[in-house]
Amino acid sequence: AQSVSQHNHHVILSEAASLELGCNYSYGGTVNLFWYVQYPGQHLQLLLKYFSGDPLVKGIKGFEAEFIKSKFSFNLRKPSVQWSDTAEYFCAVNLGSNYQLIWGAGTKLIIKP
């Protein structure tokens, strides 16, 4: 069955540190890729998405992600995190033209001030 793996369930960083959250999927066909964020007490919102074109995607709040097809990966990065980035981050994959998104388990990120 297709699946999405987020390698780290909890990540703790200090402000100004660089961030990379891993996301791998198991599917060999065409995929559409998403990163969503859920700030404490708020609804899920889209950070960025990849459908086609440049595999380096820039999103909101300084986040970016790189689609590496050969590695089945879509890792999320930010060069310098802030306390306000404390949140849970979810990777999701859509397989071709299917309506469904397959979600990773999420990574809780805590930024120490």
Partner 1 sequence: DVKVTQSSRYLVKRTGEKVFLECVQDMDHENMFWYRQDPGLGLRLIYFSYDVKMKEKGDIPEGYSVSREKKERFSLILESASTNQTSMYLCASRRTTGDSYEQYFGPGTRLTVT
Q: Which residues have C-beta within 8 Å of that of residue 44, sequence separation ≥ 6?
A: 36, 37, 38, 90
Query: Angle at CA 63, nearest 5°, toward 47 and 112?
Result: 105
d(CA 74, CA 77): 10
Under rule CB under 8 A, residue 39 binds partner 1: no
11 lies in the site for partner 1, by CB under 8 A: no
Pattern 54-83, partner 1, x by CB under 8 A: ------------------------------
Is the CB of 72 or the CB of 103 nearer to partner 1?
Answer: 103
Residues binding partner 1 (CB under 8 A): 4, 9, 34, 36, 42-46, 49, 51-52, 90, 92, 99-101, 103-106
